[in-house]
Amino acid sequence: MVLGIFEPVIQPGYDFYFFSFTSDNMYEPLKKYIEDYSGEAISEEEYEMIKSAFTPKKFRKKQYLLQAGDVSRYMAFIIKGAVRQYSVDDKGVEHVIYFGLENWWAGDRESFTMLTPSRYNIDAVEDTEVLLTTYDHLDQLKNSIPAIGKMFTTMDQRSYIATQKRIHASISLTAEERYQELSKNYPALLQRFPQNMIASYLGISAETLSRIRKKALSK
């Protein structure tokens, strides 16, 4: 399979629009990310392969990158903006499991890898610019560019550690302690996402979060 620029197909039921734009500068954050996570420099030839495997797209605020029930056919590397990944239960309550900001990835990895319907929605909380790629493109990049494979190894290790920490926090820490951990480790999230979304991510009510924040500010 030859790597090339692709145009995603808008699937039925999607409430968003794609806006194409081209700029080599769009790919520089991804190049730096790969080099930082792999510890290896990317050659010009490899850089061209990477650019051919990713397509820049813009999403307006509140537009979906993925809707529950659809297959996650693309992974997104965030260049600018903010997204959230969440499920909705039978009572219509949203449960946020992930936030994404600049230089983070967004996508349902299980659905992306297994081609199964996703249980999650992913939408833009701000106007957002991303680089999109498919499973086949990523697979070929991993087989062709050693730095890509090393990048994913590092990502998997950090993801595993982060998952362990979140499980520990959910079963061992109080609501106030969970908020303090989030504030300490990811202060940008508190500035970029609404309070109700932060509360959902922490597994508490917005009212509880409000009390915790007021208490923290009074200290």
- Sketch the domain layout of the chain as residue ranges: 19-157, 173-219
Nearest of 84, 85, 30 to residue 56 by alpha carbon: 30
| Cα–Cα dist 164/52, whole Å | 35
Pick from 9-23, 75-89, 153-167: least confident: 9-23
pLDDT for the residue 48 = 96
Query: From CA 162, how far away is CA 197, in angstroms rounded?
Result: 19
Judged against a pLDDT cut of 90, whether residue 22 lies above it is answered with no
**Residue 16 pLDDT greater than 60, yes or no:** no
Write down the pTM of the prediction. 0.85
Residues 145-204: tens digit of each pLDDT: 999 999 999 999 998 898 898 888 889 999 999 999 999 999 999 999 999 999 999 999
Average of per-residue pLDDT values in the chain = 88
Segments of 31-108 assigned E as strands: 55-59, 64-66, 75-80, 83-88, 94-100, 105-106
> What average pLDDT score do residues 85-109 get?
96
Predicted confidence at residue 17, as pLDDT, reads 36
205 with 199: CB under 8 angstroms? yes
pLDDT at res. 8: 32
Please give the order of strands across the beta sheet that includes 94-100: 64-66, 121-124, 83-88, 94-100
Answer yes or no: is pLDDT of 9 > 90.
no
Q: How many beta carbons lie within 10 A of that of residue 70, not counting itself?
A: 18
Q: Is pLDDT of 7 > 50?
A: no
Q: What is the pLDDT of residue 206?
A: 93
The architecture of the domain spanning 19-157 is: Sandwich (2.60)
